[in-house]
């Protein structure tokens, strides 16, 4: 079963910072000069850090139980060259798809796709992040 | 600014890259860099209480290593899409091998766009992450 998504949350500011890019590149064991200097470009998965800029209430809430939460898939799309250090983006999050499946050991597994859009000051869509989140089925109770 | 890589055709493979043996320090470094401070990835006591043998790596950490491989090969400025599917857990001591091969090439508004299949494999051959990405090529 697939159902619709949610309204977009309020846009929040995301500043692309040179030092954060450098820190992220170190964690990804990269020595690429592309991630260094004044006009450092962001690594492909860097926008995962953008959530730290979100004020309370701006993030999409799946309602899934944290202990049963899994990250299934992640995608980043860039509509042109990826953003660089010094750029300011505006992020909005919303749930674009929800579905349910029977768990392998019974019970119901829930899935949600959260889309984050990143726009520049002019409103042009620069990048998108798409997260597929899974809430595992509750263990079925054994008859006693 | 690096120009798109030339000589890329369907079937072209990037130079494989191994990462590891992975350490908890690497997981901690990724936690700090990403801002994902889930203790499951650096607090052994917490992970054992949850029923795991030890801490394990973040899926997005492996995705970042796969991104290092892919952008070293085809250029960080040239990426237009990067997709990963998380499959197997990754543990301290694991050695990951990242590889990729061009699956398709098409024309886009910006020029030739290569779709590459990406794989991040554990030392026992199991696939930790499979992925797919689009890069502009020359």
Q: Provide, as residue numbers in chain B, all residues whose Cβ is less than 8 Å from the Cβ of A81.
A: 77
Identify the band that residue A2 occupies on the pLDDT scale cut at 50, 70 and 90: low
More confident call, B124 vs A1: B124
Q: Residues 77-106, chain B: which have Cβ within 8 Å of A?
A: 77, 79-86
What is the rounded distance in angstroms from the CA atom of residue B73 to the CA atom of residue A16?
A: 24
Q: Tell the CATH topology of B17-22+57-136.
A: Thiol Ester Dehydrase; Chain A (3.10.129)
Kindly report the length of chain B. Answer: 138
> For residue B20, is it left (φ>0), alpha (ψ between -120 and 50) or beta?
left
What is the rounded distance in angstroms from the CA atom of residue B105 to the CA atom of residue B108?
A: 10
A83: nearest CA partner in chain B: B77
Whole-structure pTM value: 0.94
The residue ranges of DSSP E strands in B1-138, in sequence order, are 17-19, 79-86, 96-108, 111-121, 127-136
> For residue A80, is it left (φ>0), alpha (ψ between -120 and 50) or beta?
left
B79, B132 contact by CB (below 8 A): no
Least confident of B42-51, B78-87, B98-107, B115-124: B42-51
Average pLDDT over residues B78-99: 98
SS3 content of chain A, % helix, strand, coil (to 5): 15, 40, 45
Instruction: Give the alpha-carbon dihedral of B39, A58, A95, A139, to 10 degrees.
Output: 30
Q: Provide, as residue numbers in chain A, all residues whose Cβ is less than 8 Å from the Cβ of B1.
A: 39
Whether B13 shows a pLDDT value over 80: the answer reads: yes
Per-residue confidence (pLDDT) for residue A144, from 0 to 100? 47
pLDDT tens for residues A73-128? Answer: 999 999 999 999 999 999 999 999 999 998 878 889 999 999 999 999 999 999 99
Identify the band that residue A131 occupies on the pLDDT scale cut at 50, 70 and 90: very high
B50: nearest CA partner in chain A: A67
How is chain B split into domains, by residue range? 17-22+57-136
**Residues A82, B110: C-beta atoms closer than 8 Å:** no
Domains of chain A: 2-16+43-135 (3.10.129.10)
């Amino acid at each position: 079963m697939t159902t619709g998504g949610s309204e977009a949350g309020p846009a929040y500011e995301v500043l692309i910072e040179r030092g954060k890019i450098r820190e992220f590149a170190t964690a990804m064991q990269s020595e690429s000069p592309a991630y260094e200097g004044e006009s450092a470009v962001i690594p492909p998965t860097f926008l995962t850090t953008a959530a730290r800029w979100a004020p309370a209430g701006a993030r999409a809430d799946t309602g899934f139980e944290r202990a049963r939460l899994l990250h299934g898939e992640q995608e980043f799309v860039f509509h042109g060259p990826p953003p660089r250090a010094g750029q300011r983006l505006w992020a909005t999050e919303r749930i674009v798809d929800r579905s349910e499946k029977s768990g392998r050991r019974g019970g119901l597994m829930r899935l949600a796709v959260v889309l984050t859009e990143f726009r520049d000051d002019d409103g042009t869509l620069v990048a998108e992040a798409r997260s597929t989140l899974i809430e595992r089925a509750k263990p079925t109770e054994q008859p006693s | 600014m690096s120009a798109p890589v030339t000589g890329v055709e369907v079937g072209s493979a990037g130079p494989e890259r191994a990462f590891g043996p992975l350490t908890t320090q690497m997981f901690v470094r990724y936690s700090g860099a990403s801002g994902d401070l889930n203790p499951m990835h650096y607090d052994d006591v917490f992970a054992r209480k949850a029923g795991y043998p030890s801490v394990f790596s973040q899926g997005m950490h492996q995705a970042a290593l796969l991104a290092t491989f892919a952008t070293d090969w085809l250029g960080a400025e040239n990426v237009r899409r990067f997709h990963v599917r998380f499959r197997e857990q990754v543990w301290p001591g694991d050695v990951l091998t990242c590889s990729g091969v061009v699956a398709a090439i098409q024309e886009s508004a910006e020029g030739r766009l290569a779709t590459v299949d990406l794989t991040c494999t554990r030392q026992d051959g199991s696939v930790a992450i499979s992925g797919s990405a689009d890069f502009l090529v020359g």
